[in-house]
Homo-oligomer: A and B are copies of this chain.
Amino acid sequence: MSTTSDSKEAGRWLARAGLRPTRQRTALASLLVEGGNRHLTAEALYAEAQKAGADVSLATVYNALKAFTDAGLLREVNIEAGRVYYDTRVDEHPHFYFEDDGSIADAPVGSVKISELPDVPEGCEVATVDVVIRLRRR
């Protein structure tokens, strides 16, 4: 359910990034900030919004997720072809990917230590280092 405090928190979340708190964005932001760390697709968030009674179009979900990401509120996770996950955690951290059902989870922070980074090509700098631990059922 969407409580007043959720809306307020969502409002702050949007304000922090200088995004205009429209009704749709606030509704989506509420869904994202409640429920802790999440990894969801545009389709999944759209479905949640519908279930929550928010009147938001799929295109707006895509647009909003992109705006949130550009503003640094979310992080894109590219693991599977043809499906973008958005992570409510924006710090650099490894992910588990379950090959069986295609779901994603955070791996424990600091559980992967990268001890040596390679020399990067001339004129480049490291933006991020993405680590995906692909798991299969034993």
Interface residues of A (CB under 8 A from B): 76, 78-84, 94, 96, 98-99, 105, 107-108, 110-121, 123-138
Contact = CB atoms under 8 A, between A and B. Distances in A.
A127 B117 contact: no
Q: List 7 tightest A-B contacts by C-beta distance, closest first.
A: A111-B118, A124-B135, A127-B134, A113-B115, A130-B132, A81-B84, A125-B138
Contacts of A125: 135-136, 138
A82 B82 CA distance: 4
A99 B78 contact: no
The number of times this chain is found in the oligomer is 2
Contacts of A78: 78-81
Nearest to A134: B127
Contacts of A114: 112-115, 131
